């Protein structure tokens, strides 16, 4: 069998991998949505200093932030069925996708809880006090005042977590899940054209990441559309590069003029 690089295999693999993109995107979307619920549940006890619950939340967050996702996948896939056997619940025949989504949900929840805490802390406390002064309850102040502002502040960090989840789903194939990475591994094994399969796989991940990034940029601009002069982090990065280049040009021009005078 000819195993030399052939570009035709890249396009062939691309079309074959497209049918598995939906599985990868489903894992990302479901883990983020469920992770937001878990993250909010974990963040509230720490924001409102609930005894005992805040310590349990801190331990949970530290564990999932401090251990590799691959280890978490194995722990949940092999450990949860063993724990449930104690209460006579058999989940050994449950689909692998369920354990994968559970793992990424808990992992996302740990990271999102910190994002939620940081975003809420960024909201001006005076606005919350004003909400209490006009008769709002803590729940109303949180939902109507703090949450919308915290959401707009956290969009760039939230986007980074979604992109991180997209890339981390590539580990799900280690449990036998047939997502785009699992299919790419299968195609490479069948044809012995691993380079072509990895090129096709990386192209798909790159396109998905670009689309997700653009979606969050649009959302961020929409959230800040009423703020005059708002500059998104991406635009700010571009402006900083331009300003740095202009500053370097001015310094070079000043140095050259000084050398000419001497």
The pLDDT tens digits of the residues spanning 76-87 come to 999 999 999 888
Q: What is the pLDDT of residue 241?
A: 55
Q: What is the pLDDT of residue 76?
A: 96
Q: What is the pLDDT of residue 120?
A: 82
Q: What is the pLDDT of residue 261?
A: 47
Least Cα distance to 116 among 35, 49, 54, 221 occurs for: 35
Q: Using alpha carbons only, what angle is made at residue 122 by residues 134 and 58, rounded to the nearest 5 degrees?
A: 110
Q: What is the pLDDT of residue 121?
A: 82
Q: What is the pLDDT of residue 182?
A: 93
pTM of the predicted protein model: 0.81
CB 110 within 8 Å of CB 65: yes
Q: What is the pLDDT of residue 183?
A: 94
The tokens of 225 are what?
Answer: 């559309």
Distance between alpha carbon 109 and the CA centroid of its chain, in Å? 11
Q: What is the pLDDT of residue 19?
A: 92
Tracing tokens 């910190």 back to the chain, one arrives at 114
Superfamily per CATH, domain 21-177 = MetI-like (1.10.3720.10)
Which of the residues in the chain have pLDDT under 50?
261
């Amino acid at each position: 069998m000819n195993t030399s690089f052939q570009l035709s295999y890249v396009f062939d693999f691309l079309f074959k991998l497209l049918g598995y993109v939906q599985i990868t995107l489903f894992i990302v979307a479901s883990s983020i949505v469920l992770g937001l619920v878990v993250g909010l549940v974990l963040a509230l006890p720490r924001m409102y200093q609930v005894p005992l619950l805040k310590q349990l939340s801190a331990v949970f967050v530290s564990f999932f932030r401090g251990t590799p996702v691959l280890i978490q996948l194995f722990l949940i896939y092999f450990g949860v069925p063993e724990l449930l056997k104690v209460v006579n619940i058999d989940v050994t025949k449950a689909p692998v996708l369920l354990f994968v989504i559970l793992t990424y949900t808990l992992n996302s929840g740990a990271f999102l809880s910190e994002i939620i805490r940081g975003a809420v802390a960024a909201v001006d406390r005076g606005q919350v006090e004003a909400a209490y002064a006009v008769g709002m309850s803590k729940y109303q102040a949180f939902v109507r005042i703090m949450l919308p502002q915290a959401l707009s502040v956290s969009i760039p960090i939230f986007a980074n977590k979604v992109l991180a989840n997209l890339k981390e789903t590539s580990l799900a194939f280690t449990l036998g899940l047939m997502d785009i990475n699992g299919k790419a591994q299968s195609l490479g094994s069948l044809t012995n054209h691993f380079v072509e399969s990895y090129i096709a796989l990386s192209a798909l991940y790159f396109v998905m990441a670009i689309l997700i990034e653009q979606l969050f940029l649009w959302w961020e601009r929409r959230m800040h559309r009423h703020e005059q002069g708002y500059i998104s982090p991406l635009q700010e990065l571009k402006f900083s590069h331009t300003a740095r280049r202009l500053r370097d040009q001015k310094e070079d021009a000043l140095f050259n003029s000084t050398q000419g005078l001497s």
